A and B are shown apart, each in its own frame.
Chain A
Amino acid sequence: MIPLDQLTKGEQATIETIETDQLPLKLIEMGCLPGNSISLIQKAPFNDPLYLKIDESHLAIRKETAQHIFVRLIK
Chain B
Amino acid sequence: MSTSLNIALLGNPNTGKTSVFNTLTGLSQKVGNYPGITVEKKEGVCKLNRTTKAHIIDLPGTYSLNASSMDESVVIELLLNKNSKDFPDVAVVVTDVENLKRNLLLFTQVKDLGIPTLLVINMADQMKRKGISIDIPLLEAKLDTKIALISTRENKGLDLLKNHLIDYRKLSTRPTIELEHIDQDYFENLKKTFPNQQLYKLWLVITQDVNFAKIDRNRVSDATDFKTQPESYLKRLQQKETVKRYQFINGTLKETLIIDREAATDLRSKLDRILIHKFWGYVIFFVILMTIFQSIFDWSSIPQDFIDTTFASLSEQTKNKLPEGLFTNLLAEGIIPGLGGIVIFIPQIAFLFFFISLLEESGYMSRVVFLMDRGLRRFGLNGKSVIPLISGTACAIPAVMATRNIENWKERLITILVTPFTTCSARLPVYAILIALVIPEGSFFGLNYQGLMLMFLYLIGFGMALISAWILSKTLKIQSKSYFVVEMPNYKLPLIKNVGITVWEKTRTFVTEAGKIILAISILLWVLASYGPGKDFSNAEQIVSQNHVNLKGEALINKINAYKLEHSYIGILGKSIEPVITPLGYDWKIGIALISSFAAREVFVGTLATIYSVESDAEETIKSRMGSEVRADGKPLFDLASGISLMLFYAFAMQCMSTLAIVKKETNSWKWPTIQLFGMSLLAYVIAFSTYQILS
Known: A21-B235, A42-B276, A49-B374. A61 touches B484 (CB 8 A): yes
CB-based nearest A residue for B378: A46
By a CB distance below 8 angstroms, the chain A residues around B147 are none
Measured CA separation A34–B98 after assembly (Å) = 22
Check: A31 CB closer than 8 A to any chain B CB. Answer: yes
Contact of A51 among B64, B242, B246, B370 (CB under 8 A): B370
Measured CA separation A28–B246 after assembly (Å) = 11
Contact of A25 among B235, B268, B374, B487 (CB under 8 A): B235
Check: A27 CB closer than 8 A to any chain B CB. Answer: yes
By a CB distance below 8 angstroms, the chain A residues around B99 are 56-57
Cβ of B243 and Cβ of A33 under 8 Å apart? Answer: yes
Check: A55 CB closer than 8 A to any chain B CB. Answer: yes
B-contact 0/1 string along A44-75, CB 8 Å cutoff: 11101101000111111110110000000000
Tell me the total A-B contact number using a CB cutoff of 8 A: 108
Q: Report the interface size class on chain B.
A: 35 or more
Check: B272 CB closer than 8 A to any chain A CB. Answer: yes
Minimum Cβ distance to chain A for residue B377 (Å): 8
CB-based nearest A residue for B64: A29
Minimum Cβ distance to chain B for residue A41 (Å): 7
By a CB distance below 8 angstroms, the chain A residues around B238 are 25, 28
Cβ of A44 and Cβ of B488 under 8 Å apart? Answer: no
Measured CA separation A58–B490 after assembly (Å) = 9
Check: B102 CB closer than 8 A to any chain A CB. Answer: yes
Known: A21-B232, A27-B485. A51 touches B268 (CB 8 A): no
Minimum Cβ distance to chain B for residue A73 (Å): 21
By a CB distance below 8 angstroms, the chain A residues around B578 are none
Known: A28-B242, A57-B99, A62-B484. A48 touches B374 (CB 8 A): yes
Minimum Cβ distance to chain A for residue B637 (Å): 48
Minimum Cβ distance to chain B for residue A9 (Å): 12
Contact of A33 among B242, B268, B272, B407 (CB under 8 A): B242
Measured CA separation A45–B279 after assembly (Å) = 9
Contact of B483 among A24, A29, A31, A44 (CB under 8 A): A24
Contact of B374 among A26, A41, A45, A65 (CB under 8 A): A45
Measured CA separation A58–B487 after assembly (Å) = 6
Tell which of A29, A46, A49, A56 has the most Cβ of chain B within 10 Å. Answer: A29
Cβ of A25 and Cβ of B68 under 8 Å apart? Answer: yes
By a CB distance below 8 angstroms, the chain B residues around A20 are 232, 235-236, 239
Check: A30 CB closer than 8 A to any chain B CB. Answer: yes
A-contact 0/1 string along B239-258, CB 8 Å cutoff: 10011001000000000000
Chain A residues touching B, majority SS: mixed
Contact of A49 among B243, B383, B487 (CB under 8 A): B383
Known: A28-B242, A33-B242, A55-B101. A48 touches B485 (CB 8 A): no
Contact of A44 among B68, B374, B485 (CB under 8 A): B374
Check: B105 CB closer than 8 A to any chain A CB. Answer: yes
By a CB distance below 8 angstroms, the chain B residues around A61 are 484-486
By a CB distance below 8 angstroms, the chain A residues around B483 are 24, 26-27, 65
Check: B63 CB closer than 8 A to any chain A CB. Answer: yes
Contact of A57 among B66, B243, B272, B487 (CB under 8 A): B487
Check: B482 CB closer than 8 A to any chain A CB. Answer: yes
By a CB distance below 8 angstroms, the chain B residues around A56 are 98-99, 101-102
Minimum Cβ distance to chain B for residue A31 (Å): 6
Please report which residues of chain B, range 360-388, place their CB below 8 angstroms from some CB of chain A when the two chains form the complex: 366, 369-371, 373-374, 383
By a CB distance below 8 angstroms, the chain A residues around B477 are none
Check: B548 CB closer than 8 A to any chain A CB. Answer: no
Minimum Cβ distance to chain A for residue B105 (Å): 6
Measured CA separation A65–B251 after assembly (Å) = 29
Cβ of B482 and Cβ of A62 under 8 Å apart? Answer: yes
Cβ of B276 and Cβ of A44 under 8 Å apart? Answer: yes
Measured CA separation A64–B481 after assembly (Å) = 11
Cβ of B268 and Cβ of A58 under 8 Å apart? Answer: yes
By a CB distance below 8 angstroms, the chain B residues around A41 are 269, 272
CB-based nearest A residue for B246: A33
Measured CA separation A56–B578 after assembly (Å) = 65
Cβ of B373 and Cβ of A59 under 8 Å apart? Answer: no
By a CB distance below 8 angstroms, the chain B residues around A24 are 68, 407, 483, 485
By a CB distance below 8 angstroms, the chain A residues around B98 are 56
By a CB distance below 8 angstroms, the chain B residues around A49 are 370, 373-374, 383, 484, 486
Cβ of A60 and Cβ of B374 under 8 Å apart? Answer: no
By a CB distance below 8 angstroms, the chain A residues around B373 are 44, 48-49, 60, 62
Interchain residue pairs with CB less than 8 A apart (28) = A20-B236, A25-B64, A25-B68, A26-B64, A26-B68, A26-B407, A28-B238, A29-B64, A31-B246, A33-B242, A42-B272, A44-B276, A44-B278, A48-B373, A49-B486, A51-B272, A51-B488, A55-B102, A56-B102, A58-B490, A60-B369, A60-B383, A60-B485, A60-B486, A62-B373, A62-B484, A64-B482, A65-B483
By Cβ-Cβ distance, the 7 closest A-B pairs, closest first, are A58-B488, A24-B483, A60-B486, A62-B484, A29-B64, A60-B370, A45-B278
List residues of A whose CB falls within 8 A of some B CB.
20-21, 24-31, 33, 41-42, 44-46, 48-49, 51, 55-62, 64-65
